[in-house]
Amino acid sequence: MGSATFADDFRRPGMLHATILRSPFASARIDGINAEQARALAGVMLVLTADDLPGGGPAIPMRLFSQPGMEEYLQRPLARAKVRYVGEPVAVVVAESRYVAEDAAELIEVDYEPFEPILDPLVALDAGAPRVHEHTDSNVAGAIVISNGDLDDAFDRAALVVEERISCQRHAAVPLETRGLAAEHDPATGELTVWGTAKLPHVNRRILAQLLNWPAERLRLVELAVGGGFGARGEVYPEDYLVPYCAIALGRAITWSEDRGEHLQATNHSREQVHDVALALSEDGTFLGLRDSFVNNTGAYVRTHGMVVPGMSAALLPGPYVWGAYHCEARQVVTNKTPGGTYRAPGRYEVNLVRERIIDIAARKLGIDPIEIRRRNLIQPEQIPYASGAHTDGNPVIYECGDFPLLLEKACERFGYEDAVRWRREAVKREQRRGIGVSYFVEKAGIGDYEYARVELARGGRVVVHSGAASVGQGVDTVLAQICADALGVLYEDVEVRHGDTRATPDGMGAFGSRATMLGGAAVSQAAACLRERILELAGRELEADAADVELDGDRLAVRGAEERSLSLAELTERAAAAEAQAGSNEPGLSEEAWFQCRDMSFPYGVQLAAVEVDEETGSIDVVRYLVAYDIGRAVNPMLVHAQLVGGAAQGFGGALLEELSYDGDGNLVSSSFMEYLMPTATDVPDVDILVTEDAPTPLNRLGAKGAGEGGAAAVGATLANAVSDALGVEVTRLPLSPSHVAELVRQSTATQ
Amino acid sequence: MTRTVAVTINGATFEREVEPRLLLSDFIRHEAKLTGTHVGCEHGVCGACTVQLDGTPVRSCLMFAVQASGHSIRTVEAMADGGSETRLHPLQQAFHEEHALQCGFCTPGFLMSLEPLIPALVGASDDEIREAIAGNLCRCTGYQNIVSAVRLAAKRFDAQHGTNGSATGPE
């Protein structure tokens, strides 16, 4: 229809336009800024640099997983005295049109003294390396060590030890809608409204109120249509402070929207990790110990996610296997690249690659089939719930449900693993090399302690759900309406879902970490169940029957066995209102609210299998068959679960084959448009087969549902790297598997034959 | 410096004084206030801004509004009957039924690119359909359901118009 309102579709009368002047240098001292010409340009209303902001502008805080000392690495809205990455905001311009604002930005003269940038996170670790933040004593912003079992003993006893450096390249969420927002200050009410928020409206209101030194109760955040989130959209970025700040300063409505080039430089990057991993095994392939030391290149500043990405990596590197001993050292390293944060399956896409690759490397050396070596080492159903010994942000990782061997068998059967192995061996054209890849992974879902819901039976019989969860374009409205309809006993069509307005919903967490169905859905289910009780009780009173004898079917309430005694939901609301008015009751209408609390995360799991043909001449990879098998516990809406897994897998293919945020030696982002940053088109991704199982419902919520958002993406890099290694007989140790990278692997392969 | 442009969009003529550098996408979105045409990359790669210029799909971010003066443009808003949400265009209906969109940001571009192609896609293989939509990026769906929707729309078109029928394109 084209009727949805996305951020840049939103307009207010007399609205002004903001644009950001960004640093062209990866590392430079700012010796002076002259904005006189820009301020003098007709149509320009405001130009601000860091010196114009209170205290030079506040540091944007971490909202999760912080460590002492990390605040030294936080970003301020505008660079003060030094820029640390290409794209860092230096000034904000507000003008009558975006065209004029961009003209004015070009007139701002900034006197830069550039320095040699640090781009490689391993170089950044050197004791003699210059520091990205000169007031700190290290480029390591945070560190985690997880250690359990006797690692030395495991490696001493091993029949085989394999060691490898395995890395994942920098890439990012890149939703098709770039970030944008609008802000307006109404002097009459004193209210500041920000439109275009996403993911975390209520959390961001608290953060923004603190940054702007503005009372939270007079700050309203409103979600508009959201053109994809995937972890990156909806965090508090410099612009989320600057645009409202300018709106207050000018007393005018202001809109801002980044262009694609800005998006690629300014919105969170992710996934850049380098691992030194070692696996100790006995002769029969039993895993004795896993040792890993890795760096996560988080770019120039620590943003809102703190240690989340390396933390998730360290917590889920063990996967679904029993390890005699596990030791992992993680370091969050700063460099002169765009700051980082989460992207769908954050930290897991990377470590699934590392773990599943090193297992295959070992299996090949031992001559054990890749499925068989996994089968021998899986955690068994009777060991569940299983404490893996890892932890994240102080919380132990406990796989609360699961039958890992069962899913592996089901996945192999669905994929036709035996047939695939035969297909691989069949004589083919010499230049077409065939390979099979498998990976097994444990996901995490349902992060964020609680969610809020209120379910209301409105006058006229319509059911309205007010949820604290958020939409990022994933279909949460549909799921919440379904859950409400189920729990209440009404028709799906009669349920309306509202969310994403901090004025209309008192509380909430949002949509991230595959949580909206698990926590948002559980809260809705709980509130709807309470409301159902109240409705039946009221109907019983009206129909002069026991509440237990009243049945709700669609929009009609009737007494069981005496169906002529009935009334509609609409009639019930009318009578309830009349009764209340008569009684002079102050009790609100027919409405129930619930906060669903859940401190524990859920751990869904999956298997991915691929059959590929590698073209030796062109270096291209043809994915002949691909399977994502995933245990969801309970699929509230199978079509949406399917869509999440397929869509996630497509992003995984992008990361495995195409996408890379690459930099030149001066720290310029080379892939700064869609000409260089290649996202998969319809011809780049295969048809993905999806096997959703419901063998292990989670006990953590009344639905039994686990998150679906990330399992499609989580292991595509791992699976394709294993398949290509199998096809070529050489070990893939980095992504993406671009044609030039594959051509290099083919050369290695030919040389070793 | 401004120029007068007169562009017919979905049957209505919009005459405005604009700067020659104003992009057609900005003209459609902010002068004609038809925000169903989205901008995803501003250099003609993603296809979100696709509209039909005299019946042919074009990237509205790669044209200036002055270049479209005197021409006729069709945008996504013209597809559903009278802009209604209940009487969808057959292609939109197929997208709806096959769950071919999630966030919906790329959808108008897909619809505008595909609408004139449907007659030619009757009986097409999935590979051919994938080729046909390879000029538009979608970050949510992984394309599988879009392929299904195109297949369904082409099948229905065929049922209504007959194979090799008056395949001159809709409208």
Chain centre distance of CA A348: 11
Interface with chain B: mutation pick from A1, A472, A608, highest number of B CBs within 10 Å: A1
- Judge whether A42 is closer than 8 Å to chain B, CB to CB: no
Tell me the pLDDT of chain A averaged across its residues.
94
| Cross-chain Cβ contact B19/A687 below 8 Å | no
| Residues within 8 A of B (CB atoms), A 666-685 only | 673-675, 679, 681-683, 685
- Judge whether A473 is closer than 8 Å to chain B, CB to CB: yes
Kindly give the pairing relationship between strand A386-392 and strand A605-615: unpaired
The total of structural domains in chain A comes to 4
Q: At what angle do helices A716-728 and A348-366 cross, to 10 degrees?
A: 30
Could you give the 3-state DSSP secondary structure of residue A290?
Answer: strand
Residues of chain B positioned with their CB less than 8 A from the CB of A9: 29, 35
CATH number at residue B138: 1.10.150.120
Asked if residue A586 has pLDDT above 70, the reply is no
**Residue B169 in domain:** no
Q: How many contacts does A have with B, using Cβ atoms within 8 A?
A: 149
Exposure string (b/e) for B33-54, b if CB count within 10 Å is 16 or more? Answer: ebbbbbbbbbebbbbbbbbbbe
pLDDT class of A583 with cuts at 50, 70, 90: low
- A474 Cα to chain B: minimum distance (Å): 6
CATH number at residue B54: 3.10.20.30
- Judge whether A16 is closer than 8 Å to chain B, CB to CB: no
Chain centre distance of CA A169: 17
Q: Which structure tokens are listed for A540?
A: 């019983």
Write the pLDDT tens digit of every residue in A87-111. Answer: 999 999 999 999 999 999 999 999 9
- Concatenate the DSSP letters of all residues of A482-505 into one string: HHHHHHHT--GGGEEEEESBTTTS
| Cross-chain Cβ contact B36/A688 below 8 Å | no
Together in a domain, B90 and B47: no
User: By residue range, what is the domain housing residue A336?
Assistant: 118-168+270-378
More confident residue, A513 or A522: A522
- A190 Cα to chain B: minimum distance (Å): 29
Together in a domain, A112 and A125: no
Write the pLDDT tens digit of every residue in A24-60. Answer: 999 999 999 999 999 999 999 999 999 999 999 999 9
Together in a domain, A626 and A736: yes
Whole-number Å distance between alpha carbons of B48 and B45: 9
Of the partner residues B92, B99, B130, the one whose CB lies closest to the CB of residue A643: B99
CATH number at residue A135: 3.30.365.10
Of the partner residues B79, B137, B140, the one whose CB lies closest to the CB of residue A473: B140
- Residue A140 phi, psi dihedral angles, 5° rounding: -95, 110
Together in a domain, B106 and B55: no
Asked if residue A362 has pLDDT above 80, the reply is yes
Q: Mean pLDDT, to the nearest integer, of A291-315? A: 98
Asked if residue B168 has pLDDT above 50, the reply is no
Other Cβ atoms less than 10 A from the Cβ of B117: the count is 18
Q: What pLDDT score was predicted for residue A608?
A: 98
Together in a domain, A360 and A464: no
Residue finishing a domain among A597, A626, A652: A597
Q: Which structure tokens are listed for A301?
A: 């500043």
Whole-number Å distance between alpha carbons of A645 and A628: 7
Residues of chain B with pLDDT > 90, as a percent, come to: 89
Residues of chain A positioned with their CB less than 8 A from the CB of B135: 681
Asked if residue A735 has pLDDT above 60, the reply is yes
Whole-number Å distance between alpha carbons of A675 and A710: 27
Together in a domain, B71 and B85: no
Q: What pLDDT score was predicted for residue B169?
A: 44
Whole-number Å distance between alpha carbons of A428 and A628: 26
Q: At what angle do helices A638-653 and B144-161 cross, to 10 degrees?
A: 120
Contact of A347 with A390, CB cutoff 8 Å: no
Residues of chain B with pLDDT > 70, as a percent, come to: 92
Asked if residue A423 has pLDDT above 90, the reply is yes
Question: Which amino acid belongs to residue A645?
Answer: L
Measure Cα distances from A62 to A208, A237, A722, B139 in Å.
12, 11, 36, 28
Residues of chain B positioned with their CB less than 8 A from the CB of A3: 36, 77, 83, 85
Asked if residue B164 has pLDDT above 90, the reply is no
Of the partner residues A8, A11, A228, the one whose CB lies closest to the CB of residue B140: A228
Contact of A243 with A183, CB cutoff 8 Å: yes
Q: What pLDDT score was predicted for residue B165?
A: 47
Q: What pLDDT score was predicted for residue A191?
A: 95
Residue finishing a domain among A572, A597, A622: A597
Could you give the 3-state DSSP secondary structure of residue A391?
Answer: strand
The total of structural domains in chain B comes to 2
pLDDT class of A427 with cuts at 50, 70, 90: low
- B163 Cα to chain A: minimum distance (Å): 26
Q: At what angle do helices A569-583 and A522-543 cross, to 10 degrees?
A: 70
| Residues within 8 A of A (CB atoms), B 132-151 only | 133-147
Could you give the 3-state DSSP secondary structure of residue A257?
Answer: strand
CATH number at residue A63: 3.90.1170.50
Residues 6+ apart with CB under 8 A from A436: A370, A417, A420, A421, A424, A609, A610, A611, A612, A723, A726
Report the first-to-last Cα separation within chain B, whole angstroms.
Answer: 38
Residues of chain A with pLDDT > 90, as a percent, come to: 86
Q: Mean pLDDT, to the nearest integer, of A392-416? A: 96
Whole-number Å distance between alpha carbons of A12 and B167: 44
Together in a domain, A623 and A718: yes
**Predicted ipTM > 0.90:** yes
- B134 Cα to chain A: minimum distance (Å): 5
| Cross-chain Cβ contact B37/A687 below 8 Å | no
Residues written for chain B: 171
Together in a domain, B148 and B88: yes
Exposure string (b/e) for A243-268, b if CB count within 10 Å is 16 or more? Answer: bbbbbbbeebbbbbbbbbbbbbbbbb
Q: What pLDDT score was predicted for residue B171?
A: 41
Whole-number Å distance between alpha carbons of A150 and A165: 23
Asked if residue A233 has pLDDT above 90, the reply is yes
Asked if residue A470 has pLDDT above 90, the reply is no
> Is the bond preceding residue A736 a cis peptide, omega within 30 degrees?
yes
Together in a domain, A209 and A105: yes
Residue whose tokens read 């950044």: A124
- B147 Cα to chain A: minimum distance (Å): 9
Residues of chain B positioned with their CB less than 8 A from the CB of A259: 42
Q: What pLDDT score was predicted for residue A515?
A: 84
User: By residue range, what is the domain housing residue B28?
Assistant: 3-78
DSSP H helices in A231-302? 238-250, 260-266
Residue finishing a domain among A378, A409, A432: A378
**Residue B170 in domain:** no
Contact of A511 with A199, CB cutoff 8 Å: yes
- B59 Cα to chain A: minimum distance (Å): 15
